[in-house]
Amino acid sequence: MPVADVRKTKATVVPLDPDATLYETGTREVWQSRLVTSDGQEIGPVIRQVVEPGMYTIRYFVVYDLREDRHVLVPTNTVTDITSTHVHTNVTLEHIRQMPAFCHEMTRGFEETVYDALDRTPHWVEEAWMQTCPDDTE
């Protein structure tokens, strides 16, 4: 079923990419927690998350940007702390302003745009590098 058709069914888990490796889903743990930037600015509530089940990983939080009236994806590898009311990230307000709006479809190109706006290394580059590191336990 195409992504658009699944969305019409109001599913709670929605595939975002053609290969169905990333899914948007609800999150009870941080739902409505406010995202706070490294410069102390409150962006808005976390409303969903993007998971990659094949890696057992939450890749992004979907945040409603109250200032810009849009959704943005915040990579979870930028999260520095989670409290009962807030999610803290190591990106600035200016980074958030440069991010593209998230419209509930995902491509690698869109992910690259997100990481470029944040001036961060994409998760797939970090993970590839980690897999090539020699094992120090020998």
pLDDT digits (tens, 9 = 90+) for 64-108: 999 999 999 999 999 999 999 999 999 999 999 999 999 988 899
Helices (H) and strands (E) in the chain, counts: 4, 8
State yes or no: pLDDT of 11 exceeds 60.
Answer: no
Beta bridge pairs of residue 44: 35
- More confident of the two residues 18 and 33: 33
pLDDT category at 3 given cuts 50, 70, 90 is very low
Q: Which range (6-20, 74-88, 107-121) has the least confidence? A: 6-20
User: Which residues, including other chains, have CB under 8 Å from residue 43's CB and lie 6 or more apart?
Assistant: 34, 35, 36, 37, 63, 65, 66, 67, 72, 93, 96
Q: What is the pLDDT of residue 27?
A: 76
pLDDT digits (tens, 9 = 90+) for 19-60: 888 888 887 888 899 999 999 999 999 999 999 998 889 999
Q: Looking at domain 3-128, what is its CATH homologous superfamily?
A: Photosynthetic Reaction Center, subunit H, domain 2 (3.90.50.10)
What is the model's pLDDT at position 134?
65
Q: How far apart are CA 88 and CA 129, in angstroms?
A: 26
pLDDT at residue 8 in the model: 43
DSSP H or E run through 129? helix 123-132
Average pLDDT over residues 115-126: 90
18 confidence band (pLDDT: 50, 70, 90): confident
